[in-house]
Amino acid sequence: MASEIKSSSSNAYNLRVLAASNDVNDILKMISPRWKMQILCSISQGMNQFSLLKEAFPSLSDQVLGRRLSELVSEELLLKEHIADTVPQQTVYIHTKKGEALLDILSQLHIWGQQKW
């Protein structure tokens, strides 16, 4: 587990300078946690339930998967919907327009990364 950065440290100062100078740094920090974009992309490929994501990423712990899904929901990249009349109750994750827009950007980043410069 990562330790907290002391507010008086040079790392904390550098993070504040970067955040003030360019909003992109905040966005990159939001999307960079391990597994987060893989989960978002997998949901776009039909793996839209917790159990399906666990099958796709067997080394991913339940705790981290749950945390990443919660983050994606709170950032309004995904909606969490409960399927009516299912026992036990089933939940599916669906992209929002904001999530779909990010997927388009990620696709462009992938294409850019594949270029032979």
Domain that holds residue 20: 10-114
* pLDDT reported for residue 2: 59
**Cα(73)–Cα(15) distance, integer angstroms:** 25
pLDDT tens-digit readout, 69-117: 999 999 999 999 999 888 888 999 999 999 999 999 999 999 999 999 8
pLDDT tens-digit readout, 52-74: 999 999 999 999 999 999 999 99
pLDDT tens-digit readout, 5-29: 788 889 888 877 877 777 787 888 8
| Three-state DSSP state, 64 | helix
User: For the domain that residue 53 is a member of, what is the CATH number?
Assistant: 1.10.10.10
| Structural domain contains residue 48 | yes
Task: Decide: 68 and 35 in contact? Cβ < 8 Å.
Answer: yes
| Structural domain contains residue 2 | no
Residue 78: CB partners within 8 Å, gap ≥ 6? 40, 43, 69, 72, 93, 94, 95, 96, 99
The structural domain count of the chain equals 1
